[in-house]
Each structure stands twice: as structure tokens, then as C-alpha cells.
């Protein structure tokens, strides 16, 4: 290969080519960074929406727990009232069965079949 006429001019041309390559690389890096920045913003938005969704679900669970608790309290109250009224009529079921057995024995009757 032949020597260039001017060595400095040749080196400057090589440097210009390398600088253009570097500028192109910097533009690519900036574009990639912008894409990553957009991705990170999108990711942050998704995380925010997930946290909001979790908070909504937690709130719904608390409301549901409160409603169920109220229903359970009402059910307990109804059962207690029923038992109180049954006991209030005078005889517990176990006492009634024991008394029935004694009457059957006293009268020499066959034992009644439990249903």
C-alpha cells in the first residue's frame, strides 16, 4: 500500500471516522437509556397499580370479615335464645329421655326406638 501524501491528514481522517463511530454508539446508548427509562416508568406504574389492587383486596377482606362476624354473632344469639326458650319450658332433652325410660320401666313397656 502506498504511503499517504500527508500523514497528519490521514490520522485526522481516521480519528474523524472513529469519532463518528463513537457518536453513533452514544446515540444508541441514549436511545437504549430512554427505552429503559420508559420501561422503568412502566414497571413503576405496574407496581403502583398492584399495590393499589392489594390495598383494595385487603379492604374488601376486612369488610367481608366484619360482615361475617356480625352474622356469626346474630346466629349465636339466635341459638342461645332458642336454647333459653327450650330450657325455659322446663325439661332438658336428656332429662326427658331419662324420665321416659323410667316410666317405661315402671309400666313394664318395651323401650321406645330412638329416631
Q: Is residue 53 part of a domain?
A: yes
Would residue 101 count as lying in a domain? Answer: yes
pLDDT of residue 37: 80
pLDDT at 115 (0 to 100): 47
At 70, give phi and psi (nearest 5°): -65, -40
Count of residues for the chain? 115
Domain around 94 = 7-106
CA distance 69 to 79: 15
Domain total in the chain: 1
Residue 112 within a domain: no
What is the structure's pLDDT at 92?
64
Q: Is residue 102 part of a domain?
A: yes
Cα–Cα dist 102/113, whole Å: 15
| Position 47 in a domain | yes
Stretches where the chain sits below pLDDT 70 are 1-4, 86-93, 112-115
2 domain residue, yes or no: no
**Whole-structure pTM value:** 0.41
Residue 36 host element (H or E): helix 7-88
Q: Is residue 1 part of a domain?
A: no
**In the predicted model, what is the mean pLDDT of the chain?**
82
Amino acid at each position: 500500500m502506498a504511503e499517504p501524501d500527508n500523514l497528519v491528514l490521514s490520522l485526522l481522517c481516521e480519528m474523524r471516522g472513529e469519532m463518528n463511530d463513537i457518536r453513533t454508539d452514544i446515540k444508541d446508548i441514549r436511545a437504549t437509556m430512554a427505552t429503559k427509562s420508559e420501561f422503568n416508568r412502566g414497571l413503576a406504574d405496574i407496581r403502583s397499580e398492584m399495590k393499589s389492587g392489594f390495598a383494595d383486596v385487603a379492604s374488601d377482606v376486612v369488610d367481608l370479615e366484619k360482615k361475617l362476624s356480625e352474622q356469626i354473632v346474630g346466629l349465636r344469639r339466635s341459638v342461645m335464645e332458642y336454647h333459653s326458650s327450650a330450657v325455659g319450658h322446663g325439661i332438658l332433652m336428656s332429662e326427658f329421655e331419662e324420665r321416659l325410660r323410667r316410666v317405661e320401666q315402671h309400666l313394664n313397656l318395651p323401650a321406645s326406638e330412638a329416631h
